[in-house]
């Protein structure tokens, strides 16, 4: 497959993933707004912080390293898929081990919520751990689907699973809200169950079909999806296994950085369950764009860079056509996420209070919520840049470089936890965001230095993508001043008429900024139009 074909597939995958994440965020957004009217913020804190942390830790530590290693260039060759499948099935016993360990910690080492206020904590821990293990049953199928760009499968499976989860949650919250944590635990088990079922049904129908034969799919029967040894070959590819181990050590540290504030809240009790609930709601609101735009781009183009570039080889020893397209894509991606991040930062400051007031009423807008969301708007800019730079760096690094970077991640993890603890005592929930900003800045700096050295001896300078046009910066600065003044005059306690005026002012400023982008960033617009939002008409005719 040529680099251009890989780019087209990665762009298609990114586009589908963006649409999928938009749907997920909208459904979650509406679900949280709905449940806020029926359950306490303490219950939301336990579910969205403590129990979700248990689930995310379990699945991340069980599968992330396997995903990164098995989707690297060379792991998907036809002759090696048997060993790849065998390696991927190790995620299941690893998940069972993590489930037993983490559930024990959550049940017996952490302070349990008041059973009068938040009942059924113990069964909820067990059900969330079970949901994580259940999801790992689909891991070999997920990697096969990603490697062969079965984008519609992922969209359909995750859409159906999310719809089932949201529907069950709404029904139980309305009819049986006294069940408390059982509602969210059952919904999560249903989510992972539907996800696994969709992948299983698809491959049961696909394997052995004419479509599979036409595409040259490397597996022919359902039996090929199960672990077994191939004659004359080891059970697993040990080179790939060693790379997985390197990524596993890194993933452990990355999980601490990604969910660090939740670990601090869970293990150090720096915030009450109610404050944790408010922080999590604000965090979800602030990260909506990061999740449904930046994360799909990072996931999809990690696959692109991993397939186009040979891991661990310098620029001169690779195909120059591949290096050229990788550099051009990296530059455009950096420019894209930078522009989006700057827009979010500018308009997020002036519209945080209004957004929280509309979303959750005085429960969110009367306290520290607006300040939290304003700070998070600035943090989104760093998230955007870090996602793209790290997806390139992790795809290009050799195994030895990955091992060395683990030491960097260890230092960042320790510093983040210390900063989170100290800054939270000083500034409350805002301290978590400040600690995240500092650590994200350090991670970005490391990635930028790697990219600079990688392309230093070439004519390509992809880091120019981090330099927006002066006219765009001017438009953003003027918009920031105008919207801040508008908030002072029209928002947010004097009725809906003045709020609408404030919204209209922001809409006009945003329109001016977008027009400026169209006029000044023509190369970026061309990239988005032709690569990230490809025309699918030929595929459907």
Give CA–CA dist 476/77, Å, rounded. Answer: 48
- When pLDDT is cut at 50, 70 and 90, the band that residue 274 belongs to is confident
Give CA–CA dist 29/23, Å, rounded. Answer: 10
Lowest mean pLDDT among 125-134, 198-207, 236-245, 470-479: 236-245
Q: Provide the pLDDT for residue 76.
A: 44
Q: Where does residue 74 fall: left (phi above 0), alpha (psi -120 to 50 degrees), or beta otherwise? A: left
Lowest mean pLDDT among 146-150, 171-175, 420-424: 146-150
Q: What is the mean pLDDT of residues 279-288?
A: 78
Q: Provide the pLDDT for residue 6.
A: 60
**Segment of 236-245, 300-309, 382-391, 470-479 carrying the highest mean pLDDT:** 470-479
User: Against a cut of 0.95, is the pTM above it?
Assistant: no
Percent of the chain with pLDDT over 70: 89
Give CA–CA dist 272/266, Å, rounded. Answer: 10
- When pLDDT is cut at 50, 70 and 90, the band that residue 16 belongs to is low
**Segment of 1-15, 311-325, 379-393 carrying the highest mean pLDDT:** 379-393
- When pLDDT is cut at 50, 70 and 90, the band that residue 73 belongs to is low
Q: Provide the pLDDT for residue 166.
A: 86
Mean pLDDT across the chain? 83
Q: Are 513 and 475 in contact (CB under 8 A)?
A: yes
SS3 of the chain: helix, strand, coil, percent, to 5: 80, 0, 20
Lowest mean pLDDT among 3-17, 18-32, 238-252, 314-328: 3-17
Task: Specify the long-range contacts of residues 78-81, CB closer than 8 Å, at least 24 apart.
Answer: 78/216, 78/218, 80/237, 80/240, 81/218, 81/219
Q: What is the DSSP string of 54-79?
A: HHHHHHHHHHHHHHHHHTSTTTT-GG
User: Does pLDDT of 328 surpass 90?
Assistant: no
| DSSP 8-class letter at 457 | T
Q: What is the mean pLDDT of residues 2-7?
A: 60
Q: What is the mean pLDDT of residues 409-415?
A: 81
Alpha helices in 491-541 (DSSP H): 496-520, 522-527
Give CA–CA dist 281/379, Å, rounded. Answer: 16
User: Does pLDDT of 333 surpass 50?
Assistant: yes
Give CA–CA dist 355/503, Å, rounded. Answer: 10
| CA distances for 382 relative to 97, 151, 297, 319, 433, angstroms | 35, 28, 15, 32, 11
For 135, list phi and psi in degrees, rounded to 5: -65, -30
Q: Provide the pLDDT for residue 41.
A: 77
Q: Provide the pLDDT for residue 538.
A: 36
115-134 pLDDT tens trace: 888 889 999 999 999 999 99
| DSSP 8-class letter at 368 | S
Which residue would you say has higher pLDDT here, 428 or 525?
525
Q: Provide the pLDDT for residue 77.
A: 44
Q: What is the mean pLDDT of residues 133-148?
A: 90
As to burial, measured by CB atoms within 10 angstroms (0-12 exposed, 13-18 middle, 19+ buried), residue 213 is: exposed
Q: Provide the pLDDT for residue 475.
A: 94
Which is nearest to 69 in space by CA: 485, 399, 360? 399
Q: Provide the pLDDT for residue 535.
A: 33
Which is nearest to 538 in space by CA: 12, 154, 155? 12
Taking the chain, what is the end-to-end CA distance rounded to the nearest angstrom? Answer: 22
Q: Are 422 and 269 in contact (CB under 8 A)?
A: no
């Amino acid at each position: 497959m040529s680099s251009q074909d890989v780019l087209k597939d990665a762009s298609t995958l990114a586009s589908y993933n963006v649409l999928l994440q938009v749907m997920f965020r909208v459904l979650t957004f509406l679900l949280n707004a709905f449940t806020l009217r029926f359950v306490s913020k303490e219950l939301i804190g336990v579910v969205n912080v403590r129990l979700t942390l248990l689930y995310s830790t379990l699945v991340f530590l069980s599968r992330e390293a396997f995903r990164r290693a098995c989707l690297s260039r060379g792991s998907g060759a036809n002759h090696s898929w048997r060993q790849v499948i065998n390696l991927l099935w190790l995620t299941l016993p690893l998940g069972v081990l993590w489930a037993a360990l983490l559930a024990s910690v959550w049940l017996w080492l952490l302070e349990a919520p008041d059973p009068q206020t938040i009942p059924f904590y113990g069964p909820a821990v067990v059900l969330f751990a079970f949901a994580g293990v259940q999801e790992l049953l689909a891991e070999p199928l997920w990697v096969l689907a990603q490697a062969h760009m079965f984008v519609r499968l992922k969209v359909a499976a995750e859409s159906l699973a999310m719809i089932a989860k949201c529907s069950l949650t709404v029904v139980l919250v309305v009819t049986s809200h006294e069940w408390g944590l059982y509602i969210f635990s059952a919904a999560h088990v249903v989510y992972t169950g539907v996800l696994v079922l969709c992948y299983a049904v698809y491959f049961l129908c696909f394997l052995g079909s004419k479509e599979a034969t036409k595409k040259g799919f490397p597996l022919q029967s359902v039996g090929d999806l199960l672990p077994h040894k191939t004659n004359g070959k080891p059970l697993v590819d040990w080179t790939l296994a060693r790379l997985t181990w390197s990524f596993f050590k890194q993933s452990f540290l990355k999980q601490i950085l990604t969910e660090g504030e939740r670990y601090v809240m869970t293990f150090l009790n720096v915030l009450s369950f109610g404050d944790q609930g408010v922080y999590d709601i604000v965090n979800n609101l602030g990260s909506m764009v990061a999740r449904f735009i930046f994360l799909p781009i990072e996931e999809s183009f990690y696959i692109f860079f991993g397939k186009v570039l040979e891991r661990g080889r310098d620029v001169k020893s690779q195909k120059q056509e591949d290096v050229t397209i990788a550099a051009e894509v990296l530059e455009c991606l950096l420019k894209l996420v930078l522009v989006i991040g700057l827009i979010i930062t500018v308009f997020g400051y002036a519209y945080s209070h209004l957004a929280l007031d509309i979303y959750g009423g005085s429960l969110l807008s009367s306290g520290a919520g607006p300040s939290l969301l304003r700070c998070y708007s600035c943090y989104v800019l760093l998230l955007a840049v870090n996602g793209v730079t790290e997806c390139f760096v992790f795809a290009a690094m050799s195994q030895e470089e990955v091992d060395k970077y683990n030491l960097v991640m260890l230092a960042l993890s320790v510093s983040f936890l210390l900063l989170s603890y100290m800054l939270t005592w000083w500034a409350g929930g805002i301290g978590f965001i400040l600690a995240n900003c500092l650590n994200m800045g350090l991670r970005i700096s490391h990635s930028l230095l790697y990219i600079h050295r990688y392309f230093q001896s070439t004519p390509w300078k992809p880091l120019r993508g981090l330099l927006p046009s002066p006219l765009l910066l001017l438009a953003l600065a003027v918009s920031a001043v105008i919207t801040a003044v508008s908030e002072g005059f029209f928002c947010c306690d004097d009725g809906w008429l003045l709020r609408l005026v404030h919204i209209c002012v922001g809409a006009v400023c945003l329109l001016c900024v977008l027009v400026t982008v169209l006029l000044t960033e023509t190369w970026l617009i061309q990239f988005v139009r032709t690569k990230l939002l490809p025309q699918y008409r030929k595929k459907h005719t």
